[in-house]
Amino acid sequence: MNSVAFRREGVILSSRNKASAAIDIERVAAAVHYVIFRTDAGKLGHVKLNRVLWYADLEHYRRHGASITGLQQYSRAPQGPLAPEIFRAVGWLARTGKVSERPVAVADYTRREMVSVRDPDVLAFRSGEPAVLDRMISVIAPLTARQLVQMTSADPLWREISPGGAMVIATGSIITRAPSPQSCAPPEATSSVRRTGRSPRYSQA
């Protein structure tokens, strides 16, 4: 599925599943921006972005009772967990000049890669949240399309929920196992976290 179709599905799922509480889109955007900044552009499209944040939200909720993004649920899409708010956050970051998107031909389709233009606002995070995001980036970013499909089909929550249904983070934190480099990623997984030589910091420019 190409990026246009994937975005369209996000809009459809958004109309089916409205979170009960208001979503802080800037909080979602902070997590999205951090993942884009820390991941090599060639290894990150919208599918992997959603997957990194899904597992990071589960892991943080499992330990602290709250997700990093502030989301309460994702939607069950064929490619895995999908949150329409993440797509909106990418659009907001692009409009404000913090990230850019570029089309890249991959096999028989075109995907949109995201590149960070400015440093993310790490002050938006609570203690320990960036480390969780980094851990999930190191596991998810190196995966091939085949490995992502296998990961999706192995998720007991994804298997249980009907297409378009809500994948609740609180439930997933209990029944969905956190991925690890040993279980699903190739040996070079840890190299997928972008090494910038500097710590991200907030910039007013």
Q: Is 205 exposed, middle or buried (0-12, 13-18, 19+ CB in 10 A)?
A: exposed
**pLDDT more than 90, % of the chain:** 65
Residue 193 in domain: no
The answer to the question of residue 94 being in a domain is yes
Q: Please give the DSSP secondary-structure letter assigned to residue 117.
A: S
Given pLDDT bands bounded at 50, 70 and 90, which one contains residue 35?
A: very high
**Residues 184/151, Cβ–Cβ less than 8 Å:** yes
Q: Is there a domain that residue 40 lies in?
A: yes
Q: How many domains is the chain partitioned into structurally?
A: 1
If one compares 186 and 70, the residue with the highest pLDDT of the two is 70
Q: Residue 48 forms beta bridges with which residues?
A: none
Question: Helix 46-64 crosses helix 25-38 at what angle (to 10 degrees)?
Answer: 110
At residue 15, φ and ψ (nearest 5 deg) are -70, -25
- Tell whether 104 is covered by a domain: yes
Is the residue at 199 inside a domain? Answer: no
Does any domain span residue 134?
yes
For residue range 75-108, what is the model confidence (pLDDT) as tens digits?
999 999 999 999 999 999 999 999 998 887 776 6
Domain extent for 59: 3-178
Q: What is the pLDDT of residue 112?
A: 79
> Does 135 reside within a domain?
yes
pLDDT exceeds cutoff 80 at 130: yes
User: For the segment 42-67, what is each residue's pLDDT rounded down to a tens digit?
Assistant: 889 999 999 999 999 999 999 999 99
